[in-house]
Structure 1
C-alpha cells in the first residue's frame, strides 16, 4: 500500500480543498490517529472532572457540613457555567484557532481541581467547581469541532466515541474512589477524587502543547494557505502545496464573532441547529432521569454498603461504555438521526417500565431495565447531538455552531439538576421516572420531523456559499 505522502497530493486554496484531501483517506495515518485521540483525551478529562464530585459527594457534605441548598448549587455550578463558556469558547476558537483554547482549558482545569481538593469551605469548593465549568465549556465545543475537522467523511461516525470515553472516565473515577475506600482514606476520599483530575489535566496540557497541530481547515478559512498545507503534511503526510487564495471577502474571514450567530438560525443551518440543539437538550434531560439516580438504584439492588453500591454503579456505567463504542458503528450504518430516534424510542419504553414498576419489579428486571436504558441512551442520542453539530457547519463558523448549540443543550443539565429533584420530592422516584418518559418522546418526535443528517445529506458544509454578514436592517424614514 502506498504511503499517504505518495498517494495523496493537492493544492490548497480554500477550506473545501482541505476537506477534499482529508476525505480521500479510508483510515487515519498513525500521526493523525494519535492526535485524534489526544484531542479526545480532553473530553475524558471533562467527564472525569464532572464525575469526581458525585463520587465523593457524601463525605464532602459531612466534612463541610453542607446544606441541601449548597449541595444543589455545587452540583449545578459546572454545567451552568459551561452554558456561558460554550459560545464564548466557540467565538474564541473562530478567532484564534483551536489549539490555544484547548490548552487554556487544561490550565483552568488544573486550577479548578486543586482549588476544590484543598478547599476548607463551601465558597472555595464552589469557586473550584466554577473553574471546572469554565474548562468544560471551553474544551467541549472546541474539541468536537477539531475532531470533525481531522476526520475523513468515511470515518465521521467515530466522533460518537466521545460518549464511550465519557463513561470510561466516569467508571475510572468510581474505581479510584473504591481504591481509596479500600485503603481506608475515610472522609478525605472526596479530595483524592477531585484532586486526581488535576494530574490528568496537567498531563494532557503537556502532551497537547507538545504535539497538537492547528486545524488545516481553520487555517485555510483564515487565508493562511501556506500554514494549512504545512499542517496537512505534518498530520497526514500529504504532498500539499498552497494555491491562490479563494475570493472569500477578507473582512468576513477576519471578523467571525457573535454577530455571525444569526446565520445558525437561517437557511440552510436552521434545521441543523434545531436538531442538534433538541437532541442535546432532551438527551441530557433524559439521562438525569436515570443517571443521576444510579447510586440510589444501585443501593436498592446491591445493598446499602458503599463498596457494593459503587461496584453496582460501575456495572451500570459499563452499559454506557458498550453503547458509546457501538454508537460509532450504529451511526455509520443507520445515520445519526435514525440511530437517535431508535435510542429515544427504547428510552421511552424503558423509563415507563422502570417508573411504573419501581419498587415492585423483580431484581433481574430492576437491574436490566436501567442497564438497557444507559446502553440505548449512549448508543443513540447521548452521543449524536454534539456530533451532528460538529459535522453540520462550515469550518470558519464550526466552533461557533458547536458552542451555541452546546450552550442551548446544556440547559437540559441545569433543568435536570434543579427541577427533577423537586419533582421527585413531591411525587416519589418511581412516578418521577415515569413522568420523565415524555422527554425521550419529544426527542423521538424531533428526529422524525427534522430530516437533516450530516452523514446522509451528501453535502460538504465547506462547499456551501453562505453569507455570514448580518442581514441588513431595513431603512426607516
Structure 2
C-alpha cells in the first residue's frame, strides 16, 4: 500500500482524498471519459458471451441428446448445470472481487469462460459437457456483477445515464442471440452437418470470449473505488485521472489503515436484508427471476417453438429466430434503455410483464390458427420482455445498492435469477411436449407474478443517488465486524 505522506502541492484547489468515500464521490460525480458504447459493450462482454452460449446450447439440446444417447430432458438438465454453477459463482463474486480487484477478476472470469466454451465444443461425452458447462457457469457467475458494476462506475451513479447504460445489457443480449442464428445460418449454408452445428457454434463463441478478454484488459482496467477501499490511494488517483479526467491529490492525513471489514465488506449479504434494503432486494430478485423464467422458456427455445409453428424446416426456424431477435429483441432493448429514466424501472417492468402475459394468453388461444399470427405474438413477447423486465431486474439490483455492497447485491440477484432460468430451461420442453401451445397458458402465470410484485413494492432507483448511502453502510459493516 502506498500513501502520500508529504503535504501535496495543490495550488488549484484540486479535490483531496482523505478516505475511500472521497474516491466514491468523485467517481459518482464524473462519468468516465471512456464511458461510450464501445467501453460499455466491452464491459458487458461476459453478458454477451452468456447470451451467445445459452442460445447456442439451447439450439443444440436435441442434437446433444441424440449424439450421446440420452433423453432431451436429461440433456436440458446437463445444459442447465451452467445456471447452477453461475448461481454459486454469483454468490462468491463479492469475495473474489474484493480480493483480486476488478481488472484481475475480469481477466480470470473471462479466461475461464473462454476455455470452457472451447472445451465443450470438443467434449467426447455428456459427462465432459457437464464438467465444462459447470466451469463456464462459475466464470459467468463471477463476471456479471463485475460487468454491471463496471458500467455503473463508467456512467457515474449520479448521472441520469447510469440506468440507461446499465440497462443496455439487455440490448446486447439480443444482439448476441441474433449473431447466434446468423452464424448457424451461415454454417448450415456452408454444408456443415446439422448434428454438428452446435459444436462449431460454441467454438466460435470461445473465440469471441478471447477477444473480449483482451479488449477488457486494455479498455476497462482497475476500479478506482476498489483501489480506494483497499487504501491504495495513489492507484485511485491514477485511475481517476486516466479514466475520468479528474486530477486529485492525497491528503497527508489520509486514512492509511482502512478497517479490514471495510476492505472486504464482510457481512454485505446480511445488509441486503436489513430494514433499508429488504424491499429493494425482494423487488430486484423477483423481477430478475420471473423475467429469466419467461425468457428461458420462450427465448432460448425459440427455434424449437417456431419449428412447431412454421413450415420450412431448420432454415425457416433459424431465419425466423434471427428476425424476431433482431426486430423485437434488439429494438426492444434499445427502446427500453432510452425510456427507462423517463418512466422509471418499476413502472416499465410492470408494463412489460403485463403485456407479455396478455401475449402468452393470446398465443395459447390463437397460436395454432395462423402461423404468421403466432410469429407476430412471439415477436411481441420478445419485444415487451426486452423493453420491460428483461434487463430491469439486474438494473434495479445494480442501482439499488451503494458500491460497498453492490457486487453482493448484483451477485445475489443474479444467483436467485438463475433459479428462474433453470425452471424455464428444464420445464418448458416438458410442457411443450405434453401440451403444445396450451403450455403458453401456464407460462402466463410467470409474468403475472412479476407484475403483482411490482404493484406491491414501491421502490424506484432511477434518479436516486444511492452512492450517498455508502458511508452509512460501511459504518454498519465496521460495527458488525468488531
Instruction: Provide the TM-score with structure 2 as the length reference.
Output: 0.89
Equivalent in 251, 256, 265 of residue 256 of structure 1: 265
Match of 1:411 in 2: 419
Per-residue deviation, 1:354: 0.9
Q: 1:282–1:443: 8 Å Cα contact kept in structure 2?
A: yes
Q: Give the one of 154, 162, 186 matched to 2:160.
A: 154
Which residue of structure 2 lines up, in the alignment, with residue 18 of structure 1? 23
Q: Distance in 1 between matches of 2:180 and 2:68?
A: 21
1:69, distance to aligned residue in structure 2 (A): 4.1
* 113, 125, 133: which one aligns with 1:129: 133
Quote the residue 2:176 is aligned against: 169
When residues 213 and 271 of structure 1 are mapped into structure 2, their CA distance, relative to the original with a 3 A threshold, is same
Give distance in 2, aligned partners of 1:250 and 1:283: 39
How many angstroms apart in 1 are the aligned matches of 2:257 and 2:170? 36
**Corresponding residue for 1:199?**
207
Counterparts of 1:270-349 in structure 2 under 5 Å?
270-318=278-326, 319-349=328-358
* Structure 2 CA distance for aligned equivalents of residues 64 and 289 of structure 1: 23
SS of 2:16's partner is strand
Which residue, 343, 359, 370 being the options, matches 1:350? 359
Residue-pair matches, total? 463
Say which SS state the counterpart of residue 184 (structure 1) adopts: coil
* Cα distance in 1 between the residues matched to 2:307 and 2:44: 32
Asked whether the 8 Å contact 1:13–1:220 carries over to 2, the reply is: no
Change (3 A) 1:410 1:217: same
Q: 1:326-385: per-residue Cα shift (whole Å, max 9, x none)?
A: 11112111111111111111112111111222312x344212111111101011110011
CA distance in 2, matches of 1:431, 1:246: 63
The alignment's TM-score, normalised by the length of structure 1, stands at 0.90
Q: Distance in 2 between matches of 1:456 and 1:166?
A: 25
| Distance in 1 between residues matched to 2:362 and 2:21, nearest whole Å | 48
C-alpha deviation, 1:172, in angstroms: 0.7
**Residues 271-280 or 457-466, more deviating:** 457-466
> Which residue number corresponds to residue 6 of structure 2?
none
Equivalent position of 1:3 in the other structure: none
* Structure 1 residue runs without a partner (length 5+): 1-6
**Partner Cα distance (2:393, 2:13) in 1:** 32
Q: Secondary structure at the match of 1:254?
A: helix
Superposed CA offset, 1:308-334 (max 9, x none): 110001111121111111111121111
Equivalence for 1:392: 400
The aligned residue for residue 386 of structure 2 is: 378
Distance in 1 between the 2:457 and 2:448 partners?
A: 14
* In 2: Cα distance, 1:301 partner to 1:9 partner: 65
Q: 462-471 vs 133-142, which deviates more?
A: 462-471
Partner of 2:4: none
Q: CA RMSD in A?
A: 2.5
- The yes-or-no answer on 1:420 pairing with 2:420 is no
Matched with 1:36 is: 40
* Worse-matched range after superposition: 202-211 or 267-276: 202-211
